[in-house]
Amino acid sequence: MSAWRWILFPLGLLYWGITRVRNACYDAGIFTSHEIEGNSICIGNLNVGGSGKSPLTLYLMKAFQSTHTIQVLSRGYGRKTRGHIQLTTAHHAADVGDEPLMYFKQKNPQDEIHVSENRMDAIRKLNRDSNHILLLDDAFQHRKVRAGFSILVSDFNAPFFNDFILPIGNLREPRSGAKRADLVLFTKCPSEISADTKKRYTEKAAQLGLSAFFSKIAYAPLQSVNGIPLPKATHALLVTGIANPQPLKNYLEKTFTVSHIEFSDHHEFTAEEIKKIHKKFDTFEPTKTIIITTEKDFMRLESSEIYQEIKSYPWFIQPIELSIDHETEFLNSIKAYVRKN
């Protein structure tokens, strides 16, 4: 832990106290928390940064699309608009945020993707019945509304039970906040987890009344942006603007020699930056090199004025999926709640 975080320790105590009082007021009914009618599932975490909420939201969309109409509600982080917006084909990442746009690209025709900074107001406007499932993306700390089922997402490599409150650590609220969840999903797990490690994580979750599940990232085949076949490349120029690109880089290094151009999470790419990326690409052997980015990053590239320029270079998208250990048991925990409603 860096020294400056310890220097800010008094601020951490103050922040800890504020969040404790806020949660206590909601728990005691001093602050009103409105229960959402019908099926609603909150996907959230305790820490700042990427924990894998977006892949889980997509996973749940696909898991229930055949039996229910899915509605996703997100704040739309990084968008340049305000208010409640239901996504249409006319919207770009700047209008609604990259993650909601990614959900929209994979929805069924009857599904709906919404963004709003005022979740309670947006929920009131939704047309809902018993066949709808509302997925609340990154709403664990938004206690003005209360979902019927809550999933806490925690990075296996930085579990919430080892973390500390901001600014000492990366927690948005004390660890005890995990008690509000119905289960915890540890994400980004290694391929093999020892029995002792899995037992320790499970016991830490059980201390807070949570069932624990484990998932890892599964990488699907690369998708071409411009329709060209995947060449027999040996070198990949990786371009990312996500919170934690290291797992992706590690995966690609099994196949390619990787050169990485890294931007901050939700970075808004400019035409000048794309030109620099292409200039970097031109320094390599073109027949042996491809450019790889993530699905979420591509949402911000696809909607920009430089999309036509991107199409003239061998850009590929690396899709990811969730592989959940004891998947049937995990889904049955959620289905048991859905059937009750």
pLDDT digits (tens, 9 = 90+) for 154-167: 999 999 999 998 88
Domain 33-217+323-340 coded CATH 3.30.70.940: no
The CATH number of 223-318 is 3.40.50
What pairing do the DSSP bridges indicate for beta strands 315-318 and 223-224? antiparallel
What's the order of all strands across the beta sheet hosting 315-318?
223-224, 315-318, 289-294, 235-240, 257-262
Task: Among 29-33, 46-50, 173-177, 280-284, name the one with the lowest average pLDDT.
Answer: 46-50
Per cent of the chain over pLDDT 70 is 98
Mind listing the pLDDT tens digit for each residue in 69-97? 999 999 998 899 999 999 999 999 999 99
Q: Read off the pLDDT of each residue in 314-328 and give the average, rounded to a whole number.
A: 96
Whether the bond between 314 and the residue before it is cis, its omega within 30 degrees of 0, is no
Rounded to whole angstroms, the Cα distance separating 308 from 19 reads 47
How many other CB atoms are there within 10 angstroms of residue 196's CB atom? 8
Q: Model-level pTM greater than 0.85?
A: yes
Q: Which residue has the higher pLDDT, 341 or 196?
A: 196
Tens digits of per-residue pLDDT, 231-289?
Answer: 999 999 999 999 889 999 999 999 999 999 999 998 999 989 999 999 999 999 999 99
Q: How many CB atoms lie within 10 A of CB 83?
A: 11
What is residue 102's three-state secondary structure?
Answer: helix
pLDDT for the residue 4: 67
Mean pLDDT of the chain: 93
User: What 8-state DSSP symbol labels residue 334?
Assistant: H
Of 338, 304, 334, 302, the closest CA to residue 104 belongs to: 302
Q: How far apart are CA 256 and CA 4, in angstroms?
A: 37
CA-nearest of 267, 281, 268 to 310 is 281
- Residues 72, 179 contacting (CB under 8 angstroms): no
Note the pLDDT of residue 1.
53
Contact 140, 154 (CB under 8 A): no
Span(s) in the chain for CATH 3.40.50.300 = 33-217+323-340
Sequence-distant (≥ 6) Cβ neighbours of residue 25 within 8 angstroms: 31
CB 9 within 8 A of CB 1: no
Q: Identify the three-state secondary structure at position 256.
A: coil
Which pLDDT belongs to residue 10? 80
Q: pLDDT band for position 169 (50/70/90)? A: confident
What pLDDT digit, counting tens, does each position of 257-272 carry? 999 999 999 899 998 9
Q: Which two tokens stand for residue 159?
A: 């579990």
